[in-house]
Amino acid sequence: MCFTSDPYQIAEETNKITRQAIEILNRYGLNFQILTKSGSRAEKDFSLYKKGDTYAVTLTFDNEIDSRKYEPNADMPEQRIKSLTEAKKKDITTWVSLEPVISPDQSLNLIDITYRFVDLFKVGKLNGYPEMERKINWRQFGLDAIEKLEKYRKNYYIKKDLEKYLN
């Protein structure tokens, strides 16, 4: 849960719909994955995770200024990163979605910051903003990301939108 909207929106604090959904999945022995831009709200449900469940966050920036500009309603990167460390302490499998990539340098830095407690990185690019996309050397970014991830011996997945620049 979920790629098209965030399961930990502000309403989750009172409605607890995501928590209820996790409880139902657990009742039927089903595993789940959470992908969110929230860290603090998601941590409240870590006690519900069992073996095979996965916690993931989207990371776009390594600083609060850019994050507030582009992701005004999301938790700041520091909060999301903290939630990854908390998940890992509880032996929860973790992954990071590095996209959209607006600043390749920041995305690469996020790998450096998080590799110790992230099990898998999914790396994409920026889509839907042709003017911004043209300013980025996607091939070089992809090669740099792969080099860094392999140096750290991390599992990774290059999304198709970025992969086409690597062939």
**Average pLDDT, rounded, for the chain:** 94
Task: Summarize pLDDT for 109-118 with one digit per residue, the tens.
Answer: 999 999 999 9
Q: Quick one: what percent of the chain has pLDDT higher than 70?
A: 97
Number of domains in the chain: 1
The answer to the question of residue 38 being in a domain is yes
CATH number (domain holding residue 64): 3.80.30.10
Farthest-apart Cα atoms in the chain, separation: 49
Question: Is residue 61 a contact partner of residue 72, using CB atoms and an 8 Å limit?
Answer: no
Task: Summarize pLDDT for 73-100 with one digit per residue, the tens.
Answer: 899 999 999 999 999 999 999 999 999 9
| 40 vs 130 pLDDT, higher one | 130
Question: How far, in Å, CA of 65 to CA of 87, rounded?
Answer: 25
The answer to the question of residue 73 being in a domain is yes
Task: Summarize pLDDT for 139-148 with one digit per residue, the tens.
Answer: 999 999 999 9
Range of the domain at 90: 12-163
The answer to the question of residue 102 being in a domain is yes
